[in-house]
A and B are shown apart, each in its own frame.
Chain A
Amino acid sequence: MNLETLIEFFSLQNPNVRYVVLGSVLLSVSSAIVGCFTFLKKKALLGDVVSHAVLPGICISFMVSGTKDPFLLIIGAFLSGWLSIIILDYIVANSKIKEDTATGLSLSVFFGVGILLLTVIQHSGNAAQSGLDSFLFGKAAALVGKDLLAFSIIASIILIVVYLFYKEFELVCFDQEYARSIGVPVKRIELLLTSITVLAVVTGIQAVGVVLMSAMLITPAAAGKFWTNKLSVMLLLASLFGAFSGIAGAYISYTAPSMPTGPWIVVVLSFIAILSFFFAPEKGILIKLFKQRKIRLQLLEENLLKSFYKIGEINADFTAARSNEELIEIRRFSTAQFKEGLSRLSNQGFIKKTNGTWSLTNDGLQKGMRVVKLHRLWELYLTKYLRIAPDHVHEDADTIEHVITPEIEERLEKLLEYPEADPHSSNIPYN
């Protein structure tokens, strides 16, 4: 991977590179868009069923026509892909079998028949049959102009259909019952969605193969959903992720020998999905962990300040210096947390250090006092309004004291009529 290869690649001068890049992008974008709808409908495995179900159609086409004419093979693929969904729906509607079972059934039976037919063909000695199994794993690197034409047509059809039926697709994915109730032809819309799914799959498998096709449908949609709550943005993101992966997969395949394009596209897609899983704002795991850490630190700091205040209450001297041992006595912390908490409070100016002891600053005193006040107010609220016994309210208040906002604090004070003591007769401080 060097600069020269990079420039060579992106100049798109090499026609094979052009074919593969454009083809991969077209196919990835088509799959991503279709995949979003099946994903939102919670029928993500539909793509998987269709991918596997096209195999018998391809084989039968070959057996009947004796040639590998791509046009005929696609028709065969389309028909058997379609049939697998019809049968799936029929099974669900007319038997006790649930959808996930029916999905597994349809997928494996069709695929099994397909492999059977493929084996028969391979043993038949017809010399023209070699390469039929490239449908299993795809040959993205061998895309040519003719394929591009087919991909462009399919992609256009899909885009047009989605554009025309956007709101119907959206409604049917969101609330099927309501859609039916207002007279939207739900069955026909679903049929349309199935059809474009089959179309996307039938073209896609020629590039990435049966086994990987469902990844092309599901992964971009799943990744996209992490970043947004708007359908249109999700579609756009999924398409972008798909396109990027198509180009990246082609590039990787270009830089090193024996790197098949299709699988690399899927690897890049998966990588994007994993990144989304961790880093997406709000929904990403890392962000959540980050937020959790913030809360943990808040709890630590406030609890420490509480300890300072409580010691102060003993002699009504809040600003005297305290040693570590004194603080630990009020409330236990682990050594690491204790150190971390003290250092953070000190950095933020809530406490100051003098010769190995700590004392509250004015800010620290205010903050500590507030937390104690909230704790005791809440305990009072629990005993008075929820009628919980006084010896059961402490743990609850220990948590809630960190949560109460100034607005709620005001309302609490008013509701309880500015009480002076909590259920354990401790003083409620007001500043």
Chain B
Amino acid sequence: MKLNIFYILLIFLLVGCASPEKDKNGKLYIVTTTGMLYDAVINIGKEKVDAQALMGPGVDPHLYKATQGDLSKLNQADVVIYNGLLLEGKMGDILKKLGRTKAVYAAAEQIDQSTLLTSVQYENAYDPHIWFDVTIWKQAVTRISEALQSEDSVNSQFYQQNTEVYLQRLDSLHEFVKTSISSIPENQRILVTAHDAFRYFGRAYDIRVEGLQGISTVSDFGLRDIAEITDLIINNKIKAIFVETSVSDRAIKAVMQGCNERGHDVKIGGYLYSDAMGKFGTYEGSYVGMIESNVKTITEELK
């Protein structure tokens, strides 16, 4: 009697572990890590692809650890697209392993390295936050499009057309950002955020950026970092500093209080979308929306 129950349970266990039915309707199934990559894929493939992002809004890709559910999605995917340059710091092993048996593309790693920024803290590593320079992001989008076209040559014409349209959209976005940021008086053009995510943004659009934590949120900050940032804010009479949706706001709030106590009224300008977009389906839940929203927030608060 006991043995029978054991076997029944074992069978349930095995069945439960078996993958659910694959969507065999012929469409490419693409799984991305960040929402920004997902957004790029959707704009290229539109209704002819099935896509999913593992990391939702408010999720920090530096710290994200894949779950069992994520693994099964990755296994079922036809194509996996991730950012690379160590953005997905804790998924490195998994992605490497997947790469041996699947079509796995690191969007940021196929870009011309001369355009990349190096990391200050880590030798031989690049800053992975490439999506904040729209022109570099355009390159990533192009690479993704090439990848999709090679994986699904039937629809490659379709993908190519969509890509060209989208790239034009990105061009006008780039101009928009440039104009908006340059409208901020130069002495106010300092962007203080929770971590060093905006260095490409700073370089591309001529605005000074300072983050409390380093390039990766894995690195911790101390009293010195807080002291230095508060000094910077006070000395430059910065009006607003910014929190990020994917990082704890405690540190920035402490900085704000420190400044206020020392007699300088700085406020929290608002939430920036740094390593994650807004809620899917909303305006900020798209790449373009995320950048535009950030720019609007920054411009309004710093002017």
Contact = CB atoms under 8 A, between A and B. Distances in A.
Contacts of A252: 222
B248 A139 contact: yes
Contacts of A133: 63
Contacts of A348: none
A260 B261 CA distance: 22
B116 interface: no
A58 to B, nearest CB: 13
Contacts of B227: 14, 16-17, 254
A253 to B, nearest CB: 4
B250 interface: yes
B262 A15 contact: yes
Contacts of A119: 65, 67
B65, B221, B247: residue with the most chain A Cβ atoms closer than 10 Å: B221
B223 A254 contact: yes
Contacts of B221: 141, 257-258, 260
Contacts of A257: 221-222, 224-225, 228
A143 to B, nearest CB: 7
A128, A139, A257: residue with the most chain B Cβ atoms closer than 10 Å: A257
B222 A127 contact: no
Interface string B118-138: 000000000000000000000
A14 B230 contact: yes
B94 to A, nearest CB: 16
Interface stretch (B53-61, B99-107, B181-189): B53-61
A263 to B, nearest CB: 8
B226 A16 contact: yes
Contacts of B226: 16, 141-142
B255 interface: yes
A123 B261 CA distance: 37
Contact of A142 (B60, B250, B262, B279): B250
Nearest to B247: A130
Nearest to A9: B223
A131 B279 CA distance: 18
A316 interface: no
Given A142-B250, A256-B222, A257-B222, A125 B58 contact: yes
Given A14-B262, A144-B257, A257-B228, A130 B248 contact: yes
A142 B253 contact: yes
B225 A126 contact: no
A323 interface: no
A352 B224 CA distance: 65
B278 interface: yes
A250 B226 CA distance: 12
B220 interface: yes
Nearest to B255: A16
Interface string A1-25: 0000000000000111101100000
A254 B224 contact: yes
Interface in A118-163: 119, 122-131, 133-134, 137, 139, 141-145
Contacts of A255: 224
Contacts of B246: 127, 130
A16 B258 contact: yes
Nearest to B219: A258
A303 interface: no
Given A14-B258, A131-B247, A141-B251, A258 B225 contact: yes
A252 B223 CA distance: 8
B254 A144 contact: yes
A15 B257 contact: yes
B89 interface: no
B223 A130 contact: no
Nearest to B213: A258
Interface string B192-229: 00000000000000000000001000011111111110
B300 to A, nearest CB: 20
Contacts of A17: 223, 227
Interface string B261-274: 11000000001000
Interface in A230-265: 250, 252-261, 263-264
Contacts of B67: 119, 123
A143 B58 contact: no
A129, A134, A142, A252: residue with the most chain B Cβ atoms closer than 10 Å: A142
Given A141-B222, A257-B228, A261-B222, A16 B254 contact: yes
A250 B262 CA distance: 19
A286 to B, nearest CB: 33
A122 B219 CA distance: 19
B299 interface: no
A15, A139, A256, A259: residue with the most chain B Cβ atoms closer than 10 Å: A15
B249 interface: yes
A130 B225 contact: no
A253 B222 contact: yes
Given A16-B254, A134-B250, A144-B253, A127 B223 contact: no
A282 B219 CA distance: 43
A144 B226 CA distance: 12
B284 to A, nearest CB: 10
A134 B248 contact: yes
A125 B224 contact: no
A381 B177 CA distance: 102
A139 B221 CA distance: 8
A131 B248 contact: yes
Contacts of B278: 127
Contact of A129 (B58, B219, B224, B251): B58
17 contacts: A14-B258, A15-B258, A16-B223, A16-B257, A17-B223, A123-B67, A130-B60, A254-B223, A255-B224, A256-B222, A256-B224, A257-B225, A257-B228, A258-B225, A259-B220, A259-B224, A260-B220
Given A130-B59, A258-B219, 16 more contacts: A14-B230, A122-B59, A125-B58, A129-B58, A131-B247, A131-B250, A137-B220, A139-B251, A142-B251, A142-B253, A142-B254, A253-B223, A258-B221, A259-B220, A260-B220, A263-B220
Nearest 5 Cβ contacts at the A-B interface: A131-B248, A125-B56, A127-B58, A15-B261, A253-B222
